Protein backbone atom coordinates (compact mmCIF):
# COMPACT_ATOMS: atom_id res chain seq x y z
CA UNK A 1 0.00 0.00 0.00
CA UNK A 2 1.32 3.40 -0.88
CA UNK A 3 0.67 6.11 1.67
CA UNK A 4 -0.62 9.42 0.38
CA UNK A 5 0.10 12.41 2.57
CA UNK A 6 -1.68 15.73 2.28
CA UNK A 7 -0.90 18.53 4.69
CA UNK A 8 -2.81 21.80 4.78
CA UNK A 9 -1.55 24.62 6.96
CA UNK A 10 -3.87 27.51 7.64
CA UNK A 11 -2.47 30.89 8.70
CA UNK A 12 0.79 32.72 8.53
CA UNK A 13 2.50 35.49 6.55
CA UNK A 14 4.34 35.55 3.27
CA UNK A 15 7.27 37.94 3.28
CA UNK A 16 8.92 39.11 0.08
CA UNK A 17 12.61 38.58 -0.54
CA UNK A 18 13.35 42.28 -0.34
CA UNK A 19 13.02 44.10 3.01
CA UNK A 20 11.02 46.74 1.19
CA UNK A 21 8.59 44.26 -0.36
CA UNK A 22 5.01 44.41 0.94
CA UNK A 23 3.86 41.78 3.40
CA UNK A 24 0.69 39.90 2.47
CA UNK A 25 -1.32 37.60 4.68
CA UNK A 26 -2.93 34.48 3.26
CA UNK A 27 -6.69 34.29 3.43
CA UNK A 28 -7.92 33.30 6.90
CA UNK A 29 -10.13 30.17 6.94
CA UNK A 30 -13.56 31.11 8.32
CA UNK A 31 -16.06 28.37 9.20
CA UNK A 32 -19.54 29.04 7.79
CA UNK A 33 -22.30 26.63 8.81
CA UNK A 34 -25.67 26.52 7.04
CA UNK A 35 -28.51 24.86 8.91
CA UNK A 36 -31.02 23.85 6.26
CA UNK A 37 -33.65 21.28 5.27
CA UNK A 38 -35.17 19.90 2.11
CA UNK A 39 -38.57 20.26 3.78
CA UNK A 40 -38.26 24.05 4.19
CA UNK A 41 -39.53 26.24 1.34
CA UNK A 42 -37.35 29.17 2.51
CA UNK A 43 -34.16 27.13 2.26
CA UNK A 44 -33.46 26.89 -1.50
CA UNK A 45 -32.37 30.57 -1.79
CA UNK A 46 -30.01 30.07 1.14
CA UNK A 47 -28.66 26.86 -0.38
CA UNK A 48 -27.93 28.74 -3.63
CA UNK A 49 -26.27 31.64 -1.80
CA UNK A 50 -24.13 29.22 0.18
CA UNK A 51 -23.00 27.46 -2.98
CA UNK A 52 -22.23 30.78 -4.69
CA UNK A 53 -20.19 32.05 -1.74
CA UNK A 54 -18.12 28.88 -1.61
CA UNK A 55 -17.39 29.20 -5.32
CA UNK A 56 -16.67 32.93 -5.46
CA UNK A 57 -15.05 33.72 -2.07
CA UNK A 58 -16.70 37.19 -1.94
CA UNK A 59 -14.84 38.52 1.13
CA UNK A 60 -11.25 39.62 0.64
CA UNK A 61 -8.85 38.06 3.14
CA UNK A 62 -11.24 35.26 4.14
CA UNK A 63 -11.37 31.68 2.87
CA UNK A 64 -14.85 30.26 3.43
CA UNK A 65 -14.92 26.71 4.76
CA UNK A 66 -18.49 25.44 4.59
CA UNK A 67 -20.55 22.89 6.51
CA UNK A 68 -24.06 22.17 5.22
CA UNK A 69 -25.97 20.70 8.16
CA UNK A 70 -29.47 19.33 7.54
CA UNK A 71 -31.66 19.42 10.64
CA UNK A 72 -34.37 16.84 11.32
CA UNK A 73 -37.25 18.87 12.78
CA UNK A 74 -38.79 19.34 9.32
CA UNK A 75 -38.89 15.59 8.66
CA UNK A 76 -42.32 15.12 10.26
CA UNK A 77 -43.96 17.69 7.97
CA UNK A 78 -44.33 15.74 4.76
CA UNK A 79 -40.78 15.04 3.51
CA UNK A 80 -37.92 13.24 5.23
CA UNK A 81 -34.61 14.83 4.27
CA UNK A 82 -32.18 12.01 3.54
CA UNK A 83 -29.28 14.10 4.85
CA UNK A 84 -30.96 15.15 8.10
CA UNK A 85 -29.72 14.25 11.56
CA UNK A 86 -30.66 15.02 15.15
CA UNK A 87 -26.94 15.72 15.67
CA UNK A 88 -27.22 18.87 13.57
CA UNK A 89 -30.43 19.92 15.33
CA UNK A 90 -28.65 19.59 18.67
CA UNK A 91 -25.66 21.54 17.37
CA UNK A 92 -27.93 24.33 16.16
CA UNK A 93 -29.67 24.41 19.55
CA UNK A 94 -26.30 24.92 21.27
CA UNK A 95 -25.78 28.01 19.13
CA UNK A 96 -29.28 29.26 19.93
CA UNK A 97 -28.61 28.85 23.65
CA UNK A 98 -25.22 30.56 23.47
CA UNK A 99 -26.46 33.44 21.31
CA UNK A 100 -29.68 33.78 23.36
CA UNK A 101 -32.00 33.18 20.42
CA UNK A 102 -35.68 32.46 21.08
CA UNK A 103 -35.70 29.35 18.91
CA UNK A 104 -33.94 27.48 16.12
CA UNK A 105 -34.99 28.06 12.52
CA UNK A 106 -34.05 27.38 8.92
CA UNK A 107 -32.30 28.58 6.94
CA UNK A 108 -29.69 29.86 9.39
CA UNK A 109 -26.02 30.65 8.88
CA UNK A 110 -23.53 30.67 11.74
CA UNK A 111 -20.10 32.20 11.11
CA UNK A 112 -17.12 31.04 13.19
CA UNK A 113 -19.55 30.13 15.97
CA UNK A 114 -20.18 33.76 16.87
CA UNK A 115 -22.68 35.33 14.45
CA UNK A 116 -26.06 33.89 13.42
CA UNK A 117 -28.56 35.25 10.90
CA UNK A 118 -31.06 34.23 8.23
CA UNK A 119 -29.16 32.04 5.77
CA UNK A 120 -30.33 33.88 2.65
CA UNK A 121 -29.08 37.29 3.86
CA UNK A 122 -26.03 37.87 1.64
CA UNK A 123 -25.13 41.24 3.19
CA UNK A 124 -25.18 39.82 6.72
CA UNK A 125 -23.04 36.92 5.55
CA UNK A 126 -20.40 39.20 4.05
CA UNK A 127 -20.26 41.37 7.18
CA UNK A 128 -19.95 38.41 9.53
CA UNK A 129 -17.28 36.70 7.41
CA UNK A 130 -15.25 39.91 7.10
CA UNK A 131 -15.41 40.44 10.88
CA UNK A 132 -14.38 36.83 11.54
CA UNK A 133 -11.44 37.17 9.17
CA UNK A 134 -10.06 39.99 11.30
CA UNK A 135 -10.08 37.97 14.52
CA UNK A 136 -7.08 35.90 15.65
CA UNK A 137 -6.98 32.32 14.39
CA UNK A 138 -4.55 29.50 14.98
CA UNK A 139 -3.09 26.94 12.59
CA UNK A 140 -4.64 23.57 11.87
CA UNK A 141 -2.91 20.90 9.79
CA UNK A 142 -4.32 17.60 8.61
CA UNK A 143 -2.30 14.67 7.37
CA UNK A 144 -4.09 11.99 5.39
CA UNK A 145 -2.34 8.70 6.00
CA UNK A 146 -3.77 5.25 5.35
CA UNK A 147 -6.62 5.47 2.83
CA UNK A 148 -8.72 2.45 1.91
CA UNK A 149 -12.02 1.90 0.12
CA UNK A 150 -14.12 2.44 3.22
CA UNK A 151 -11.81 4.19 5.68
CA UNK A 152 -9.19 6.87 6.01
CA UNK A 153 -6.71 7.69 8.77
CA UNK A 154 -6.35 11.37 9.66
CA UNK A 155 -3.91 13.14 11.97
CA UNK A 156 -4.77 16.66 13.11
CA UNK A 157 -2.27 19.10 14.53
CA UNK A 158 -2.91 22.58 15.91
CA UNK A 159 -0.65 25.44 16.81
CA UNK A 160 -0.57 29.15 17.61
CA UNK A 161 -4.12 29.01 18.97
CA UNK A 162 -5.63 32.17 20.44
CA UNK A 163 -5.98 31.92 24.24
CA UNK A 164 -8.98 29.81 25.25
CA UNK A 165 -11.65 31.82 27.06
CA UNK A 166 -11.41 31.76 30.85
CA UNK A 167 -13.07 28.67 32.29
CA UNK A 168 -13.62 27.12 28.87
CA UNK A 169 -12.08 24.21 26.96
CA UNK A 170 -11.59 23.61 23.25
CA UNK A 171 -12.09 20.47 21.17
CA UNK A 172 -10.85 19.32 17.78
CA UNK A 173 -13.79 18.36 15.57
CA UNK A 174 -13.67 16.65 12.19
CA UNK A 175 -16.38 16.60 9.51
CA UNK A 176 -16.65 14.74 6.22
CA UNK A 177 -18.58 16.73 3.60
CA UNK A 178 -19.88 15.71 0.18
CA UNK A 179 -20.39 18.23 -2.59
CA UNK A 180 -22.76 18.54 -5.58
CA UNK A 181 -25.66 16.49 -4.23
CA UNK A 182 -29.16 16.60 -5.76
CA UNK A 183 -32.59 15.49 -4.59
CA UNK A 184 -35.92 15.37 -6.41
CA UNK A 185 -38.34 16.30 -3.62
CA UNK A 186 -41.61 14.37 -3.88
CA UNK A 187 -43.61 15.80 -0.98
CA UNK A 188 -43.72 18.65 1.50
CA UNK A 189 -43.19 22.37 0.96
CA UNK A 190 -40.66 21.81 -1.85
CA UNK A 191 -42.69 19.19 -3.70
CA UNK A 192 -41.73 18.98 -7.36
CA UNK A 193 -38.43 20.81 -6.96
CA UNK A 194 -34.95 19.50 -7.64
CA UNK A 195 -32.72 20.73 -4.84
CA UNK A 196 -28.94 20.97 -5.05
CA UNK A 197 -26.67 21.05 -2.03
CA UNK A 198 -23.06 22.02 -1.42
CA UNK A 199 -20.73 20.52 1.21
CA UNK A 200 -23.35 18.37 2.93
CA UNK A 201 -22.00 17.09 6.25
CA UNK A 202 -21.99 13.31 6.10
CA UNK A 203 -20.16 12.77 9.39
CA UNK A 204 -19.23 15.05 12.27
CA UNK A 205 -17.40 13.98 15.40
CA UNK A 206 -15.13 15.19 18.17
CA UNK A 207 -11.60 13.88 17.73
CA UNK A 208 -10.33 14.99 21.14
CA UNK A 209 -9.34 17.93 23.29
CA UNK A 210 -7.31 20.63 21.57
CA UNK A 211 -3.72 20.92 22.76
CA UNK A 212 -1.16 23.12 21.05
CA UNK A 213 1.67 21.08 19.61
CA UNK A 214 -0.17 17.77 20.02
CA UNK A 215 -1.32 15.51 17.20
CA UNK A 216 -4.80 14.00 17.32
CA UNK A 217 -5.31 10.77 15.31
CA UNK A 218 -8.71 9.73 13.99
CA UNK A 219 -9.97 6.88 11.81
CA UNK A 220 -12.92 7.86 9.62
CA UNK A 221 -15.32 5.38 8.04
CA UNK A 222 -16.52 6.21 4.51
CA UNK A 223 -19.95 4.94 3.51
CA UNK A 224 -20.18 3.15 0.19
CA UNK A 225 -22.66 5.61 -1.34
CA UNK A 226 -20.44 8.64 -0.72
CA UNK A 227 -18.66 9.74 -3.90
CA UNK A 228 -15.03 9.76 -2.95
CA UNK A 229 -14.07 12.48 -5.46
CA UNK A 230 -16.66 14.83 -3.94
CA UNK A 231 -15.53 14.41 -0.32
CA UNK A 232 -13.64 16.96 1.77
CA UNK A 233 -12.38 16.54 5.31
CA UNK A 234 -12.85 19.63 7.48
CA UNK A 235 -11.08 20.02 10.81
CA UNK A 236 -11.69 22.82 13.28
CA UNK A 237 -11.05 23.79 16.88
CA UNK A 238 -14.07 25.02 18.85
CA UNK A 239 -14.58 26.23 22.39
CA UNK A 240 -17.23 24.24 24.22
CA UNK A 241 -19.01 27.07 26.03
CA UNK A 242 -18.55 30.14 23.85
CA UNK A 243 -18.74 28.09 20.59
CA UNK A 244 -15.92 30.27 19.19
CA UNK A 245 -13.91 28.75 16.34
CA UNK A 246 -10.16 29.04 16.96
CA UNK A 247 -8.73 27.35 13.85
CA UNK A 248 -9.98 25.66 10.68
CA UNK A 249 -8.42 23.59 7.91
CA UNK A 250 -9.42 21.26 5.07
CA UNK A 251 -7.97 18.36 3.11
CA UNK A 252 -9.12 16.33 0.12
CA UNK A 253 -8.86 12.59 -0.09
CA UNK A 254 -6.15 11.09 -2.30
CA UNK A 255 -7.27 9.30 -5.42
CA UNK A 256 -8.30 5.75 -4.64
CA UNK A 257 -5.85 4.35 -7.16
CA UNK A 258 -3.00 6.06 -5.33
CA UNK A 259 -4.07 4.75 -1.95
CA UNK A 260 -5.45 1.28 -2.58
CA UNK A 261 -3.89 -1.55 -4.55
Over residues 173-222, the pLDDT tens digits come to 999 999 999 999 999 999 999 999 999 999 999 999 998 888 999 999 99
pTM of the complete model: 0.89
By the 8 A CB rule, do 234 and 8 touch? no
- CA atoms of 109 and 254, how far apart (whole Å): 30
Q: Per the domain annotation, does 239 fall within a domain? A: yes
What's the rounded Cα separation, in Å, for the pair 215 and 63?
24
- Considering the domain boundaries, does residue 6 fall inside one? no
Whether 2 maps to a domain, the answer reads no
pLDDT at residue 17 in the model: 46
Instruction: Quote the domain boundaries for residue 145.
Output: 25-259
107 prior amide bond cis, ω within 30: yes
C-alpha 168/C-alpha 47 separation (Å) is: 33
User: Residue 186 domain-assigned?
Assistant: yes
What is the count of structural domains for the chain?
Answer: 1
List the one residue out of 77, 76, 120, 72 whose CA is nearest residue 92.
Answer: 72
pLDDT recorded at residue 53? 98
Give every residue of the chain whose pLDDT is below 50, as ranges: 1-18, 257-261
Look at residue 75 in the predicted model and tell me its pLDDT: 97
Give residue 149's pLDDT.
79
pLDDT at 256: 52
Q: What is the pLDDT, as a whole number, of residue 20?
A: 52
In a domain, 170, yes or no: yes
Q: Provide the pLDDT for residue 57.
A: 95
- The whole-number pLDDT of residue 9 equals 41
With respect to residue 14, please indicate whether it lies within any of the assigned structural domains: no
Distances (CA, A) of 6 to 104, 195, 250: 37, 32, 10
Q: Is residue 9 part of a domain?
A: no
* CATH (domain of 109): 2.60.40.10
Residue 1 lies in a domain: no
Nearest to 108 by CA among 40, 35, 181: 35
Alpha helices in the chain (DSSP H): 43-56, 86-98, 122-134, 256-259
Contact 172, 210 (CB under 8 A): yes
Amino acid sequence: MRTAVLVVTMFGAIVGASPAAPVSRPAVPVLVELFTSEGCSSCPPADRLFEQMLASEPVSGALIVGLGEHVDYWDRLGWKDRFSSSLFTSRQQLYADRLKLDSVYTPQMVVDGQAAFVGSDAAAARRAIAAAGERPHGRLTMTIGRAERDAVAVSIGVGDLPPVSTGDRADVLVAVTEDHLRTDVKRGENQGRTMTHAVVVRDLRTAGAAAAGATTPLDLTLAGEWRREALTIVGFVQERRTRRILATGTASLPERSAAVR
